[in-house]
Amino acid sequence: MNLFESTFEKHKKLILEKVNKLSSRSERDAISTQISGQLSDIVARLKNNPSDPKLKAEKERLEKAADRYGIKNYRDQDAGVTSDKELADKEIADNPQKFKAEFWNDFKEMSVAQFVTKYKSIVADPKVNAFIMSGQKDSDNTEAFKVKKAYGVVGELIPTQNEIGFSNSLNDIIDKPKWDKDGSTIQELEKILVGDNVILRSDKGATPIITFAGKYIIDGHHRWSKICCANPKATVVCLDFKNDSIGENPELALKAFHLAIAGETKGMLTQKALGQNLLKTSPAVVEKFILENIKDQYLAVYKKYKNVINPKAAEINKEQVARYIANNSMSVSGKEPGTDTPRAYMPQVDQAPSAEDSLAKGKINFASDKVAENLFESTFNKFKNLYTK
């Protein structure tokens, strides 16, 4: 290695260390973050399986580790760990470059549950929120998503949460809910059985399913599961998001959506965990539930679509419909979710109308900027000129 190369390597190391500012606490911080994230996941799983002895033992082990490393207030949080807002504010003010480097690394490396747990208490801070919304400042368009209307076969879409509500998926396709004053669920069932570019209502009206990379569901899991259980071959209307820097990583996409929502609402909005999980329910349980609960008005709709239910049958009866829905439920329960994210950590896209625009315009700052690279390049050129004269 010649004089230029050795000097270059030394200065490269010094520059990158100075820019990223990874403090002497970094190893301890990394261990604390790992413990915090693991506790988040364990506590979320215990909500659905509170008597699981393995989960309870693992939680106890992690709590002891948290005590050893001085992780405070973890017992008071729904995810198991708290972010120390005052400490975070101080670190942002004292060392913004370190905060940025840590944030971008967390975005890449943390699970969705870990990321939400760590940042949900500080995204309302004006400094943090301004940073999150500064994606356009680097002018490289890295963070911009391509957004388009799309149509997909519902049974081919992939969930990104590890919980799908049993009741949310089945109730409205066999019985009239209390909120249905105009018979809209009967009409929707007919549309699903016809199966042509279905779009169902949500609280905000007729709403497409939000997808990522043409296949991963970001928002609309229960509209998806409902349609799957009634007709997995139906095509559905989607609003699809793609980003070249994220590729086909659904976990990064979920975190990007969380940041887009935080930019508007100053929070990471989530919903509570559900009851019975359809992903963990056998077809036999589904079949029994349908037999016991389907109402005649809904059974009559299924009978009209014999070609969908069972083309070879002379006529359609309750037992055939129950078996048909139970078999279809495997197009939900048989899916391996794209991420292991619990329902309680999923982004609520419908609560932030501007999230789509923020992602499409690249406003969300989830990718590291070019500060370090530019500084390194300019220093390289200075030393190159100095040692090659």
Q: How far is CA 311 from the centre of its chain?
A: 39
**Tens of pLDDT, residues 253-308:** 999 999 999 999 999 988 876 789 999 999 999 999 999 999 999 999 999 999 99
* Cα angle for residues 205, 210, 216 (degrees, 5° grid): 150
Q: What is the mean pLDDT of residues 42-59?
A: 78
pLDDT at 121 over 60: yes
Q: What is the pLDDT of residue 6?
A: 55
Q: What is the pLDDT of residues 307-352, one digit of tens each?
A: 999 999 999 999 999 999 999 999 999 999 999 999 999 999 988 9
Q: What pLDDT, in 10s, does the model give residues 185-195? A: 999 999 999 99
Give the pLDDT confidence score for residue 370 in this predicted structure. Answer: 58
User: Of the given ranges (57-66, 76-85, 312-321, 342-351), which has the lowest mean pLDDT?
Assistant: 76-85
Work out the average pLDDT over 348-360. Answer: 93
DSSP state of 156: G
**pLDDT above 50 for 379:** no
* Angstrom distances, CA of residue 173 to CA of 170, 186, 202: 6, 8, 15
Terminal alpha carbon distance of the chain: 18
User: Per-domain residue ranges for the chain?
Assistant: 23-139, 146-359
Strand extents, DSSP E, 154-234: 201-202, 205-206, 209-212, 216-219
Task: State percent of the chain over pLDDT 90.
Answer: 57
Instruction: Give the Cα separation of 333 and 329 in Å (integer).
Output: 6
Closest CA relative to residue 117, chosen from 337, 342, 363: 342
Mean pLDDT of the chain: 83
* Alpha-carbon gap, residue 389 to 387, rounded angstroms: 6
CB 144 within 8 A of CB 241: no
State both tokens at 265: 């609402």
Q: Calculate the alpha carbon distances from 280 to 134, 172, 333, 353 in Å.
A: 41, 20, 7, 33
3-state SS class at 340: coil
- More reliable by pLDDT, 191 or 30: 191
The pLDDT score that the predictor gives to residue 28 is: 57
Angle CA 180–332–243, to nearest 5: 95
The four Cα atoms 370, 371, 374, 376 give a dihedral, to 10 degrees, of -120
**What does the pLDDT read at residue 14?**
53
Is 36 a residue whose pLDDT tops 60?
yes
- What's the pTM value of the predicted model, to 2 decimals? 0.75
Strand-pair partners of 237? 151
Residues 6+ apart with CB under 8 A from 177: 171, 185
Query: Could you tell me which residues are beta bridge partners of residue 148?
Result: 240
- Asked whether the predicted pLDDT for residue 77 surpasses 50, the reply is no
Residue with tokens 């077809």: 283
Indicate the pLDDT class of residue 81, thresholds 50, 70 and 90: very low
Helices vs. strands in the chain: H and E counts, helices first = 17, 6
CA 102 – CA 119 distance, rounded (Å): 12
Q: List C-alpha distances in Å: 300 to 168, 173, 190, 328.
A: 21, 12, 11, 19
Which stretch of 22-31, 189-198, 215-224, 266-275 has the lowest confidence by average pLDDT? 22-31
Q: Between 388 and 302, whose confidence is greater?
A: 302
Cα→Cα distances 83→114, 115, 122, 169, 259, Å: 11, 11, 8, 35, 17
Output 299 or 43, whichever has higher pLDDT.
299
Which letter does DSSP use for residue 377 in this model? H
Q: How confident is the model at residue 357 (pLDDT cuts 50, 70, 90)?
A: very high
- Give the count of beta carbons closer than 10 Å to the beta carbon of residue 368: 18
**pLDDT at residue 163, rounded to an integer:** 95
